[in-house]
Amino acid sequence: MSATDTRPALPQPVVPPPAAVPERVKSPTRSVVELVAAVGLIVLVAVVAGLTDLLIVIACIVVMIMVHELGHLLAAKRGGMKVTEYFLGFGPRLWSFRRGETEYGIKAFPLGGYVKIPGMTNLEEVDPADEARTYRQQPFHARLLVAVAGSAMHFLMALVLLWALLALVGVPNADKVQIQGVAPVGGKPGPAAVAGIQPGDVVVSIDGKPVAGSLGALTGTVRDHPGTPVTLVVDRGGRTRTLTVTPADGRSVHEAGVVAPAGDAPYGVIGVSLGSPVERATPLHALASTGSDLVHFSWASIVGVGHLFSPSGVVQRFDQVTNAKAAQQAAANGTRVESIVGAVRTAGQAAQAGLGDLLLILISINLFVGIFNLFPMLPLDGGHVAIAVYEKIRTGRRKVLYHADVAKLMPFTWLMLTFLGVLFATSLLTDILHPMANPFG
Which tens digits make up the pLDDT trace of 277-298?
Answer: 999 999 999 998 998 889 998 9
pLDDT of residue 1: 43
pLDDT tens, position by position, 331-362: 888 888 899 889 889 998 998 889 999 999 99
pLDDT of residue 158: 96
CA distance 289 to 308: 29
Query: Across all residues in the chain, what is the average pLDDT?
Result: 87
Note whether 274 and 179 are within 8 A (CB): yes
Does position 6 have pLDDT exceeding 50, yes or no?
no
Does position 83 have pLDDT exceeding 90, yes or no?
yes
106-120, 262-276, 281-295: lowest mean pLDDT where? 262-276
Which residues does 195 contact at the CB level (< 8 Å), separation at least 6?
Answer: 232, 243, 244, 245, 246, 270
30-34, 117-121, 219-223, 282-286: lowest mean pLDDT where? 30-34
pLDDT average, residue stretch 157-179: 93
Note whether 426 and 321 are within 8 A (CB): yes
pLDDT tens, position by position, 197-248: 999 999 999 998 888 777 788 888 999 999 999 999 999 988 999 999 999 9
pLDDT tens, position by position, 45-55: 877 877 788 88
Does position 252 have pLDDT exceeding 80, yes or no?
no
Length of the chain: 441
pLDDT of residue 34: 73
DSSP 238: T
Name the pairing type of β-strands 102-116 and 239-245.
Answer: unpaired
Domain locations in the chain as residue ranges: 28-171, 173-279, 283-433
Percentage of residues in the chain having pLDDT higher than 90: 57
pLDDT of residue 69: 97
Phi, psi at 391, each rounded to 5°: -65, -35
- Indicate the pLDDT class of residue 262, thresholds 50, 70 and 90: low
CA distance 330 to 328: 5
Helix (H, G, I), strand (E, B) or coil at 110: strand
Closest CA to 412 of 377, 385, 376: 377
pTM, two decimal places: 0.82
Give strand ranges (E) for 134-266. Answer: 171-172, 177-182, 202-206, 209-210, 230-236, 239-245, 248-249
pLDDT average, residue stretch 100-111: 91
- Indicate the pLDDT class of residue 19, thresholds 50, 70 and 90: low
Note whether 269 and 230 are within 8 A (CB): no
Q: 37 or 119: whose pLDDT is higher?
A: 119
CATH numeric code, 173-279: 2.30.42.10
The one-letter amino acid at 273: S
Does position 263 have pLDDT exceeding 70, yes or no?
no
Phi, psi at 234, each rounded to 5°: -125, 155
Within 165-195, residue ranges assigned H as helices are: 191-195
ω into 261 cis (within 30 of 0): no
pLDDT of residue 16: 55
The continuous run of DSSP H or E covering 60 comes out as: helix 52-78
pLDDT average, residue stretch 79-93: 94
107-111, 179-183, 261-265: lowest mean pLDDT where? 261-265
Which residues does 166 contact at the CB level (< 8 Å), separation at least 6?
Answer: 280, 281, 285, 286, 289, 290, 293
pLDDT tens, position by position, 387-415: 999 999 998 877 788 889 999 999 999 99
